[in-house]
Chains A and B, each alone.
Chain A
Amino acid sequence: MSIDTVPAAGATALDATAAVVTRRDIQHRLLMTIGPILAALIIAGCILLAVGVDPLAYYGFVLERGLLSPLGIQQTLTRMAPLLFLAAGLIVAFRAGMWNLGGDGQFLLGAVTAAASAPVFVEVMPAWLALICSFVIAMAVAMLWSLVPALLRAYQGVNEIITTLMMTFLGTSLANVLVKLMIRDPGTTVPQTRTLPVEDRLPRLFDTTITSGLLLGLAAIITVHLVMTRTAFGLKLRIVGANPRAAIHAGLGVPNLTIAVFAISAGLAGLAGAVDILGVQGNVRADWNPAYGLAVIPVVFLARMNGFAAIGFVFLLSVLSIGGESAARRLGVPNHFTLVLVSIVLIVLALAEYIDHRYNQSRRA
């Protein structure tokens, strides 16, 4: 993986010509995003036709319920909150060349920790302080969970893909064990944690149902983007990602940086879990695993680990999943079609980027 140069859109355009170039660049980027999405919708539409569903009706519902209706867009924006945190965590890891594929385990443990601690905290302290404490504990637990893969990678060179994948299997099971045995709500027969009262959850924005977690998520991903592109610390991490051996020769403390990367990445995944619980869900049910992490990984790649582009792609993912869920309900298609749609969008976007790259190369040559 190479270091991306600072994206052109982020460069300050001072003179007029540069401004024109930037605008053309943005237009180009938009075209290269919307075009493939339309192509993907057509391909997915053929699948819908094949199973006897009217694709136009389906997409109509997706658009209406995911984007245009007030309730739909609010749900979409709410769904973005945990995804943004996860994407932020992955950006740090991937830019530093570390394959943290254990996001789901870290997410769930963060969620379970938040669900266990928040109802206890609200009884002894004001709600805002309780929320902050829950966030911090959730982050700390997720960080701790990543310590073993981090240490193994930093000092033994054990490949982190294996260790984080195994830790995510372990974490998923551990989260279930905790919910079923340790922190189960004695008041219900269903195995789940105590429910955080709605008035103690993260406040909603203005008069909407959008969680304020969205703002936290946006703040997280923009901070991460700026730290990675504008600070010395970010530069160090990108050097480690580009060439770990060169980083050692440059005098960087690679083991410590490795541990820091894992801690930040896992901590953000833990916060993603916490923001979903404290803002939306209120409790964790046994065997609950939304597996957001798996869908966010390709999104971060397509955004080329650029925080702002990732926000756009996360928004797209949310529209598709929220809209797809209700379209499926209305038309009697199983919700699984959303997965197919997301998959086709990802593949066509990747293909379009390749074709664009090839075209630019041949034009330059």
Chain B
Amino acid sequence: MTGLFSEVFLSALLFGAVTAAIPLLLAGLGEQMSEKAGVLNIGIEGMMLAGAYLGFVGAFYSGSLWLGFLTGAGGGIAVALVMALLCVRIGLNQIVIGIALTLGLEGLTALLHHFQFSRSYPRLPAVDVTVIPLLSGIPVIGLALFRQHLIVYLAVALVFAMGYIYRRTQLGLNLQAAGDKPAALDVAGIDVARTRTIAVLTTGALAGLGGAFLANVGAGLFIPFITNGAGFLGIVLAMLARGRPVWVLFGALLFGVCLSLTTAMQVAGINIPTDVIQMLPFLAVMIMLVLFGRRASLPAALGIPYERGVR
């Protein structure tokens, strides 16, 4: 058993947990903003896939990881534009369009990958890490938490930036109002559609970035359907967090640890099917809900398109 709890093993486990958590964190934060503004964004899985594919292609051809993140976020925004146009401007059913976008992007990214790379799966070189002085010297935690790619730190910083936006800025208030009582926001002279569009496009950017991280940093390659439900996990995280960005971070880390545990167990040669470990985070959350389940505080106008003058 000493091998299982050795310093190397533990820090590898934690490192993997952080890597697995970042895409979920970005997706969760993005979904949270959409939901706050009253748009149930089920297309987030498609936005992540667009981000993963374009992010990988961008990084692969340019050789720059940062350009990859940029194209990934751009891919997410492109899908979000369609969503904003159809669901916010025109007011089509968000669940129909969201699922249609997810299905379409699943197919489209797999199709493009096929025509571009055929059956080969080229890999990106290993990523550079930013070592934080002093802190990275701490045993176990230092190796795992403070020797990550710069974007990991930025993603964590984003949690607090989001918290600030929601609590302290006009934009945060507008978003909240767009989700809870859009008519009131309209009366106050602020364009509901514009506010919601901002939220959906931000979701697209964050989800695309999360997808690009998943492909470029997490896996180092793109395979069709690489997100494998990460977007839906983001929706779960956003709803569980009840509007608080910090809770998304905790949730993402919980799921990240369990995902990382799956790989670590296999490496350690412990013969538990991965499916059992994959069930753990969901079991934990369901038990928590059964024990402490309270009325979820979702925005009142969630999922309802806003049309001026209609009761």
Contact = CB atoms under 8 A, between A and B. Distances in A.
Are A and B part of the same complex? yes
Interface in B269-294: 273, 275-276, 278-279, 282-283, 285-286, 289-290, 293-294
Nearest to A52: B115
B8 interface: no
A47 B232 CA distance: 27
Contact of B296 (A52, A162, A294, A337): A162
B263 interface: no
Contacts of A242: none
B95 interface: yes
A343 interface: yes
A351 B92 contact: yes
B107 A298 contact: no
Contact of B282 (A156, A158, A169, A176): A169
B293 A152 contact: yes
A9 interface: no
Contacts of B99: 294-295, 297-298, 346
B125 interface: no
Contacts of B293: 152, 156, 158
A218 to B, nearest CB: 24
A355 B276 CA distance: 48
A237 interface: no
Of residues B91, B99, B110, B290, which shows the largest number of chain A Cβ atoms within 10 Å of its Cβ? Answer: B99
Nearest to B100: A346
B289 A152 contact: yes
B251 to A, nearest CB: 11
Contacts of A181: 273
Interface string B102-146: 111111101100110000000000000000000000000000000
Contact of A297 (B90, B92, B95, B239): B95
A166 interface: yes
A161 B92 CA distance: 19
Q: Determine which residue in B91, B107, B110 has the highest number of CB atoms from chain A within 10 A of its CB, and name it.
A: B107
B108 A340 contact: yes
A169 B229 contact: yes
Interface string A152-173: 1000111101110111011001
A233 interface: no
A298 B282 contact: no
A39 interface: no
B29 interface: no
Contact of B239 (A148, A159, A338, A344): A159
Given A294-B99, A337-B107, A177 B232 contact: no
A165 B235 contact: yes
Interface in A320-365: 333-334, 336-344, 346-347, 350-351, 354
Contacts of B273: 176-177, 180-181
Contact of B104 (A162, A297, A344, A354): A344
Contacts of B286: 148, 163, 166-167, 170
A334 B110 CA distance: 8
A193 B280 CA distance: 24
B224 interface: yes
Given A333-B111, A338-B107, A350-B100, A162 B239 contact: yes
Contacts of B275: 173-174, 176-177, 180
Nearest to A348: B100
Contact of A350 (B96, B278, B285): B96
Contacts of B232: 165, 169
A344 B46 CA distance: 14
Contact of B240 (A162, A302, A339): A162
A162 B273 CA distance: 25
Contacts of A302: 96
B62 interface: no
B111 A173 contact: no
B280 to A, nearest CB: 9
Contacts of A350: 86, 92-93, 96-97, 100
Contacts of A47: 108
Contacts of B278: 169, 173
Interface string A128-152: 0000000000000000000010001
Contact of B100 (A158, A167, A177, A347): A347
B295 interface: yes
Given A148-B286, A339-B106, A298 B100 contact: yes
A336 B95 CA distance: 21
Contacts of B289: 152, 156, 158, 162-163
Contact of A177 (B40, B104, B235, B276): B276
B101 interface: yes
B151 interface: no
Interface of B: 40, 86, 90-93, 95-97, 99-108, 110-111, 114-115, 224, 229, 232-233, 235-236, 239-240, 273, 275-276, 278-279, 282-283, 285-286, 289-290, 293-296, 298
27 contacts: A156-B289, A158-B289, A161-B239, A162-B296, A165-B235, A166-B286, A169-B232, A173-B275, A177-B279, A181-B273, A294-B99, A295-B99, A297-B95, A298-B95, A298-B100, A334-B111, A334-B114, A336-B111, A336-B114, A338-B107, A339-B108, A340-B111, A342-B103, A346-B99, A347-B104, A350-B86, A351-B92
Given A152-B293, A180-B275, 6 more contacts: A170-B282, A170-B286, A334-B114, A350-B86, A350-B92, A350-B93
Closest 5 CB pairs of A and B: A343-B104, A339-B107, A157-B295, A336-B110, A340-B107
